[in-house]
Structure 1
Amino acid sequence: MTTTGLDARLDRIGTDGTYVIVPMDHGLTMGAVTGLKDIESTIDGVTSGGADAVLTQKGIAPRVHEHKNGKGYIVHLNGSTTIGPDENDKRLTGTVEEAIRVGADAVSFHINVGSDHEPDQLSQLAELTDDATRFGIPVLAMAYARGPGVDSTDAESLGHAVRLAEELGADIVKTGYSGDAASFEHVVESTRLPVVIAGGSKGTDRETIEMVRGVMDAGGAGVSMGRSIFQHEDPEAIATAVAGVVHDDLEATEALAEAGLALEA
């Protein structure tokens, strides 16, 4: 159900229905990796470059607001660590009310569709969307195809994951990329929600921007891209290039050039 508050908050984390979101909740998962020690500078850079919103765990909120240049803020509500027994076992780390108290415009939740933890995460996401609806706050569902025997780039599996997010009441859905625009069309067509993609491990600038171009060509709504942006040697420049494709419909070469990034990269 749409409400005035929900629509207003969706506007704060996007641009005309497209989204460049930079998740930086990796400190919980991986520790203070490159780009996250001085997270204030990184947030300033990516939002100056054209990111619509940044995303962190709730405890980082005091380090976000003064540096986000008026852009949106999303609080992530579950997590796990790379040194724990099972990284796919994402546990609750906050509530919608806590996110609102620290100034969030939206909340996000990660579910691994096909994993041993899917049943619990499914129930938690359903409860979360119900809670968020009461407050008029958008939910970004990070719905991945991950688990024993699951191909995380298979378009059918990704399509199932994004549809699950809609069925459970999310407002935006993030998932993996299937590898090309033609196959990703099936993923986008599997839901009426705006579909954004994860960046995954950092590739070359050209690989990153061509992937973004493929998503938009398939009818996607943008990206929720972490390490490919915040671990870049120039986070502001790569954010500018990504935003050029998502917001201005630039081709990859043009976006890289306008951002001042080497075309051969």
Structure 2
Amino acid sequence: MDGFSVRLNRILRPDTGRSLVVAIDHGMALGPMTGLKNVGETVSRLDATGLVDAWLVTKGIYRYAFEPVNKPGIILRISGGATISGPELTREGQTATLEDALAAGADAIATSAFIGSPYEHDTLTGLARAASECRKWNMPLLGVVGLGKINEDQKKDPRFIALGARVAAEHGADLVKTYYTEEGFEQVVAGCPVPILIAGGPKCETDLDTLKMIAGALNGGAKGIVMGRNVWQSPHPEALLAAVHGLIHRGFSVQEANDLLEDGINRG
């Protein structure tokens, strides 16, 4: 095994080829928010379950608020530089380096590409440059596919989502985080030569909706999920995490996962 394989095996579990990633990088653009006001507390609470395969973090949170007891994989986000109070949230640039990631002991880095936005070119070429640097050091790269200000039909169109996933892989991503589409998600997976992890997306109305979304993605060929607010804004995050783990790594049906969720809620 080379360094790339060693690192990737800390993101995608070798026995299932899948991953349950928890993202806590939202504060870089959104500031303190429900579920992440005390990031260290959130990390401690979810890490204690032993069910998180990897965390997506920024360099500031990693340095000052990230102290897991277990030994999860680490994906360090290296792009950012825009907030919801600024003129354009998609205007991201490099905010950390590969050297930062190596010094931190990260297992992968993540950078965004915003398809259909005014900064599509800048973010895609930034992803490509990061991929070239990663090749030198056998560091896996997660391409985080974001969308510009497009219409709702495009967001649900598997052809458009497939475009973004394929483009990220073409520019050098080893893993792609993108959106799940209820219809035609198999097209998205079939058109992308690297593993796809779905984005948790906006907060689902219920935990059951979250489970259904993840099950649909797995059935369509996704290799897991990068979860954010749907887990740490859930009223029962530990129970939900166990249910999601059951879907991803134990082959549970939605009903079995929901039963586990309800059992965890009742016992909690």
Q: TM-score, normalised by structure 2?
A: 0.91
Aligned to 2:164: 161
Determine the C-alpha separation between the residues in 2 that align with 1:177 and 1:191. 14
Aligned to 2:54: 53
Percent identity, please. 34
Q: CA deviation at 1:68?
A: 5.1
For structure 1, the 5+ residue unaligned runs are: none
Contact 2:239–2:265 (Cα < 8 Å) also in 1: no
Cα distance change, pair 255–148 in 1 and its aligned pair in 2 (3 A): closer
* 1:76 and 2:77 aligned: yes
Q: CA RMSD in A?
A: 1.8
Q: Give the SS at the match of 1:87.
A: coil
Work out the number of aligned pairs and report it.
259
Q: Give the SS at the match of 2:176.
A: strand
Determine the C-alpha separation between the residues in 2 that align with 1:64 and 1:167. 34
Query: Structure 2: which amino acid aligns with 1:228?
Result: N
Cα distance change, pair 39–65 in 1 and its aligned pair in 2 (3 A): closer
Aligned to 1:33: 33
1:1-265 mapped onto 2 (5 Å cutoff): 4-16=2-14, 17-47=17-47, 48=49, 50-63=51-64, 65-67=66-68, 69-79=70-80, 80-149=82-151, 151-180=154-183, 183-203=184-204, 204-259=206-261, 260=263
Determine the C-alpha separation between the residues in 1 that align with 2:187 and 2:50. 31
Q: Give the SS at the match of 2:225.
A: strand
Contact 2:18–2:248 (Cα < 8 Å) also in 1: yes
For residues 63-110 of structure 1, what are the alpha-carbon distances to aligned partners after superposition, in whole Å with 9 as ceiling and x for unaligned? 455315111111111122111111121222111111221221110011
Contact 1:43–1:68 (Cα < 8 Å) also in 2: no
Contact 1:12–1:72 (Cα < 8 Å) also in 2: yes
For residues 154-198 of structure 1, what are the alpha-carbon distances to aligned partners after superposition, in whole Å with 9 as ceiling and x for unaligned? 100111111111111111001011124xx1000000112111111
Cα distance change, pair 159–68 in 1 and its aligned pair in 2 (3 A): farther
Determine the C-alpha separation between the residues in 2 that align with 1:103 and 1:42. 21
Determine the C-alpha separation between the residues in 1 that align with 2:115 and 2:69. 32
Determine the C-alpha separation between the residues in 2 that align with 1:49 and 1:101. 25
For residues 220-257 of structure 1, what are the alpha-carbon distances to aligned partners after superposition, in whole Å with 9 as ceiling and x for unaligned? 11101111112222322211111111111111121122
Query: Structure 1: which amino acid aligns with 2:40?
Result: E
Higher relative contact order (Cα pairs below 8 Å, separated by 6+ residues): 1
Determine the C-alpha separation between the residues in 2 that align with 1:49 and 1:116. 41
